[in-house]
Amino acid sequence: MSQPPFRLLPNPRHGTPGIVVLPEGGYRRAREAITAWPGYTPTPLHDLPDIAAALGLGAVHLKDESLRFGLGSFKALGGAYAVARVIAAELARLGIARAATAADLESGRHAETTRAITVTCATDGNHGRSVAWGAGRFGARCVIFVHPGVTQGRRDAMARFGAEVREVPGNYDDSVRACARVAEEQGWHVVSDTSWPGYTEVPRDVMQGYRLMAEEALDALRAPPTHCFIQAGVGGVAAAVSVALRARYGRTVRLVVVEPDRAACLLASAEAGAPTVVAGGLDTLMAGLACGEPSLLAWQELERAAFAFAAIADEAAIAAMRRLARHDPPVVSGESGAAGLAALTLVARDEAARAALALGPESRVLLLSTEGATDPDLYDRLVKVGPVDMEAP
């Protein structure tokens, strides 16, 4: 069977000095808040010895976000946390409560005020679900902007939390701009998972929430990883994982940032040496990764901390979803969630890529399956139907 084409770009600026993107104090605050939410429990870390053996690696570990707070993706950690912070800041500004906690907000004590607050974001599905969930829990109104490519299943999931879902033309990046424009006109609060010059405070909170996923994974590992493959849309989660790895292990872990070949804006940025936009339809099945503009904060971390950038085709992600579905025990991993395993499979089987990353029988690789079946109909279609022209590990 053939392997789909892929690209691997060793990062020319790996190891150069840079700024602190996620301060430790902000992470401690996020961890304290989120671990106190009802239903919080660390998600599982699976050992995949059969996959490690098939790829000639020492160990492969996979963090499984399919059960995160019942929302099916790690995004539950970021958007909802940032919504709580935005509402608490607004209550403080109005002189109503100095430091309202999530529990205060959920009690409905400030409902009269929070009802008048509107939070908004653009989404491919998972971030919007988290923001809608947070707004529902903490008593705010929520409007979510989607582009025409967002599936009905993902729209319905947001509407179930009480959000108004508005479609706007263009791709994900166009919906980000439409959201920012309408929010400005209406006085709404943008809770974006991407950042840009002049808008970093809220996305920083979103990323601090994501960091908890990485810290849970590192807590559960018996030995430090040698490599970590993490998928990227705007790069927020990859940067949060990178910060967590560096805080514990310095520069010893080789971080590979994985993107769809049709939306590889971080790879393009690394190649150009500056944030670079990939335009067009960003036509990929990996919906959560279909972003053409890197997040400023993410770029500031990854431009120096990523060891390499990889771009993969949709077939590779589907093959990895199927491989995880047939694992014993099975792991439910969605199109975007399985991208890390897809990239690892491709590079581990390519002599030059394997050498460039120093992958071998001593390697211990950490993967993060960042979503489960966040669109169950699509998941079933991709995992259960039709052939895929790629050999899985």
202 binds ligand PLP (CB under 6 A): no
Q: Pull the structure tokens for residue 92.
A: 């403080």
- The strand pairing partners of 167, in sequence order, are 146
269 binds ligand PLP (CB under 6 A): no
Stretch that binds ligand PLP, among 90-98, 179-187, 232-240, 377-385 (CB under 6 A): 232-240
CB of 294 to ligand PLP, least distance (A): 9
DSSP letters spanning 323-348 = HHHTSSS-----TTTTHHHHHHHHHH
102 and 84 Cβ atoms separated by less than 8 Å: yes
Question: Which residue in the set 43, 126, 195, 276 belongs to the binding site for ligand PLP (CB under 6 A)?
Answer: 126
Locate all alpha helices (DSSP H) within the chain, ordered by sequence: 24-35, 49-54, 79-93, 102-106, 111-114, 126-138, 152-159, 172-186, 201-220, 236-249, 265-272, 296-305, 314-325, 339-348, 351-356, 376-384
User: Is 139 or 235 the residue whose CB approaches ligand PLP more closely?
Assistant: 235
75 is known as an active-site residue = yes
Phi and psi at residue 63, in whole multiples of 5°?
A: -80, 130
Give the footprint of ligand PLP on residues 66-85 (CB under 6 A). Answer: 73, 75
CB of 389 to ligand PLP, least distance (A): 24
Phi and psi at residue 117, in whole multiples of 5°?
A: -95, 130
CB of 159 to ligand PLP, least distance (A): 18
78 and 206 Cβ atoms separated by less than 8 Å: yes
216 binds ligand PLP (CB under 6 A): no
205 is known as an active-site residue = no
Q: If DSSP codes are grouped into helix, strand and coil, which group holds residue 312?
A: strand
Taking CB atoms, the residue at the shortest distance from ligand PLP is 288
User: Is 75 or 364 the residue whose CB approaches ligand PLP more closely?
Assistant: 75
CB of 193 to ligand PLP, least distance (A): 6
336 binds ligand PLP (CB under 6 A): yes
CB of 140 to ligand PLP, least distance (A): 21
275 binds ligand PLP (CB under 6 A): no
Distance from C-alpha of 388 to C-alpha of 374, rounded to nearest angstrom: 21
331 binds ligand PLP (CB under 6 A): no
User: Is 124 or 205 the residue whose CB approaches ligand PLP more closely?
Assistant: 124
Distance from C-alpha of 4 to C-alpha of 1, rounded to nearest angstrom: 10
User: Is 114 or 171 the residue whose CB approaches ligand PLP more closely?
Assistant: 171
CB of 21 to ligand PLP, least distance (A): 13
Q: Letter for the amino acid at 66?
A: S
- Among residues 75, 261, 314, 375, which one is catalytic? 75
231 binds ligand PLP (CB under 6 A): yes
Q: How many other β-carbons are positioned within 10 Å of the β-carbon of residue 386?
A: 8
128 and 159 Cβ atoms separated by less than 8 Å: no
Q: For binding to ligand PLP (CB under 6 A), which residues are involved?
A: 73, 75, 124, 126-127, 193, 231-238, 288-289, 291, 336-337, 370-371
